[in-house]
Amino acid sequence: MKFNRMAFLTMVSLLLGCADDSVGPPVADKRPVELVSHGDVRIDNYFWLNERDNPEVIAYLDAENAYTQSILADTSGLKQRLVDEMTARIKQEDVSAPYRHGDYLYYRRYEEGREYPIYCRRKGSMDADEEVLLDVNVEAGDAPYYSVRGFKVSPDHTLAAFAVDTVGRRFYDLHVIDLETGVLLPDVIESTTSNFLWAADNKTIIYAKQHPDTLRWERIYRYALGSGRNESIYEEPDETYSAYVYPSISGKFIYIASVSTLSTEIRYLAADAPDEKPQVFLPREEKHEYFVTDGGDRFYIVSNDGAANFQLFEAPLDNTSKAAWSVVLPHRDDVLIENVDVLRDHIIVSGRSAGLTQMEVIDRVSGEAHVIDVGEDVYVAFPDDNYEFDSTVFRYGYESMTTPESVYDYDLVARERQMIRQKEVLGGFSRNNYVSERLWATARDGTKIPVSLVYRKGIELDGQNPLLQYAYGSYGSSIDPGFSSNLLSLLDRGFVYAMAHVRGGSEMGRQWYYDGRQFKKMNTFTDFIDVSKFLVDEGYTSPEHLYARGGSAGGLLMGAVLNMAPEMYNGVTTRVPFVDVVTTMLDESIPLTTGEWDEWGDPREKESYDYILSYSPYDQIKRQNYPNVLVTTSLHDSQVQYWEPAKWVAKLRDHKTDNKLLLLQTDMQAGHSGKTGRFRSLEDVALYYTFFLHLEGIAE
């Protein structure tokens, strides 16, 4: 019998106590499940919501969506205006900065009204005839979700491979296209990751494949075009590690990295001999993280062995033991090394100093070093498309909170830079209309927390300005003060925007990460709250006008902050929030759990269980007043399962003692990153902004 969703929704709305949306929000049925660990008993009334294929669950999510739409119905005009003005800032016919790779210049371009990029190239110069390699718009058709990742050209530039996900669960099919004929080859590698590369023989693809249930990247395969055979060349046996592949700019080697939170093991094989067995560069050691690349004639290693912020070594190709390593760049307490790119004559070391990115150039012969001067005080700079090993020009990207995305070519010998492209922002944008600042807030333990601010020039900072505060604070991932044309819709309406660079990231060095993980995770939450108090005390806003936002692991931050300091915020939005930490970390069958134990702690051990339980947002919900809250998730999210936010909202509804808004919206056709397409994705942004503006009483 065919399932009738509307009829079933009517039945379930009665079950949920919400036959009439105008009466109130959906009230999820309580079906207690007893969860016991270390003698501690937790009662989960909403455990039943974790059945993705259960029609009752789908109907509940539909009911929540209908309720959210009904509550925000009066703001639909504002939301559409926001979508229209954000769209109007986008240059519809646009071309990326061309980059040289072999004899070709490669680039992506967009056509008016179309969602997806078109991959192109020209031979020799941009004056040559254009070759269209892949039009993603044609491939996507009318698909509600279509994501292309990793468009990679073979070394001889005759073929290209790309990964396609049409659901949002991050299971990709790898396709290969003949660049001379434009015809897709019959070779398709199904249900894999988007991590792959070409071997130097132009016919072998080496790629990482995930476990079908846990989604851990656990195996490395090779596939020779036309063979129909996928051969496993490495299987990572430790469930706390994941494996992936990467190349070097020299093209000499292919690397296989096995990584856990605090340990690494690298294997390598010659790119022109992909049938060889990979060799171990250095066996894994507890708390030793290292990264390897090469300069053609030697290896370069970034290692934290005895160096919290890492140092750079070199080693001969025939001896990779630590005894053969020699220091190229020693450890520094004030500079974190994050990445290294090696060209024939130069090494470019990317890192952080005083909370900001920097790129340091080292001459491979003389050893002379200098830092690339980027010209602003609050910014982000990063390596971009660099494929030519013999080049003396280094391509990097640059932006700030007031400077749109820019691409530069830097002459490593003359030490001069040339802007190749700056993304054009339409609608009368001028960077001179905005002010960006770097402030330092003092946390309760005396630690100075960097804060990046941007606001419209001329607004009166009298404590009554609406302010949106954002943070992430996990996995050592740093958030950088980049540019967002979408954000102008808030800034032009009087908002201040603040990035809180809380502990748990690596903005201030690797210790910044160590001080915000496992048994120090509480620092992440208290840092965010202390930054909020600082911004209020300094007159940038007030609790009546302060808003917070975070997603994924940043959603965990939002959930903890809501429980700990609800009085500080008027509204909070969180996307795909990781909020049911204890239950998820105890369930090894849930995707990505085992690899996360090193980040949060392993709750199978009582000490970790007790600590995680002390902040787990779902478990720490109290009977108290909460701010206005908007939660969004996706049914097919592979990183944070939809049921975590769904359960969280249901429990919040049952416990909160206020009449403020609590809304849940589930995208039934997307994954962790939300909608695909450069225009459709604006609908998600507009929803969040509409929520904030609605709470501020701003209707235009």
In a domain, 259, yes or no: yes
- Based on the domain organization, do 304 and 181 belong to the same domain? yes
Secondary structure in 3-state letters for 174-227: EEEEECCCCCEEEEEEEEECCCEEECCCCCEEEEEEECCCCCCEEEEEEEECCC
State residue 333's pLDDT score: 95
Q: What is the pLDDT of residues 399-424, one digit of tens each?
A: 999 999 999 999 999 999 999 999 99
The C-alpha atoms of residue 627 and residue 599 are separated, in whole angstroms, by 29
Strand 628-634 with 571-575, pairing? parallel
- What is the rounded average pLDDT of the residues 501-525? 97
* Residue 286: predicted pLDDT: 94
Distance CA 285, CA 271 (A): 26
Q: Note the pLDDT tens digit of each residue in 316-341.
A: 999 999 999 999 999 999 999 999 99
Q: Where are the alpha helices (DSSP H) in 553-669?
A: 553-564, 581-586, 597-600, 606-615, 643-655
pLDDT tens digits, 181-233: 999 999 999 999 999 999 999 999 999 999 988 889 999 999 999 998 899 99
> If you count them, how many residues does the chain have?
700
Mean pLDDT (the chain, rounded): 93
Residue 431: the pLDDT is 96
Residue 152, domain CATH: 2.130.10.120
User: Are residues 65 and 183 located together in one domain of the fold?
Assistant: no
Active site (catalytic) residues = 552, 637, 672
CA angle 676, 681, 687 (to 5 degrees): 145
pLDDT the model gives residue 628 = 98
Does 155 reside within a domain? yes
DSSP class per residue in 269-303: EETT-TTSPPEEEE---TT--EEEEE-SSEEEEEE
Please check whether residues 160 and 284 belong to one and the same domain: yes
Looking at the domain assignment, is residue 633 inside a domain?
yes
* 244 sits in which H/E element: strand 242-247
Token digits of residue 624 = 């108290």
pLDDT tops 50 at residue 640: yes
Indicate the pairing of strand 467-470 with strand 546-551: parallel
- Which of 52-56, 96-100, 665-669 bottoms out in mean pLDDT, i.e. has the lowest? 665-669
232 domain residue, yes or no: yes
Please answer whether residues 117 and 110 qualify as being in contact, where contact means their C-beta atoms are separated by less than 8 angstroms: yes
In this predicted structure, the answer to whether residue 575 has a pLDDT above a threshold of 90 is yes
Q: Which two tokens stand for residue 237?
A: 């046996």
Looking at the fold, whether 67 and 156 belong to one and the same domain comes out as no
* pLDDT value for 672: 67
Residues 153 and 505: their CA atoms lie apart, in Å, by 34
Are residues 160 and 66 both part of a single domain? no
Confidence of residue 22 (pLDDT cuts 50, 70, 90): low
- Among 313, 341, 365, the domain boundary falls at 313
CATH number at residue 40: 3.40.50.1820
Residue 98 CB neighbour total at 10 angstroms: 21
- The boundaries of the domain holding residue 268 are 148-313
Residue 621 lies in a domain: yes
Q: Is residue 223 part of a domain?
A: yes
Tokens of 480: 């950088």
Strand arrangement of the beta sheet that strand 416-422 belongs to: 380-383, 393-399, 406-411, 416-422
State both tokens at 216. Answer: 């851990």
Secondary-structure percent of the chain, ordered helix, strand, coil, rounded to 5:
20, 35, 45
Q: Per the domain annotation, does 628 fall within a domain?
A: yes
Domain count, the chain: 2
Q: Which of 313, 339, 359 delimits the end of a domain? A: 313
The verdict on 153 and 59 lying in the same domain is no
The fraction of the chain above a pLDDT of 90, given in percent, is: 87
pTM of the full structure:
0.91
Contact 65, 666 (CB under 8 A): yes
pLDDT value at 576 more than 60: yes
Which residues, other chains included, contact 694 with Cβ-Cβ below 8 Å and sequence gap of 6+? 72, 75, 78
Co-location of 173 and 67 in the same domain = no
Q: Is 575 part of a structural domain of the chain? A: yes
Q: Answer with the one of 258, 293, 313 that is the final residue of a domain.
A: 313
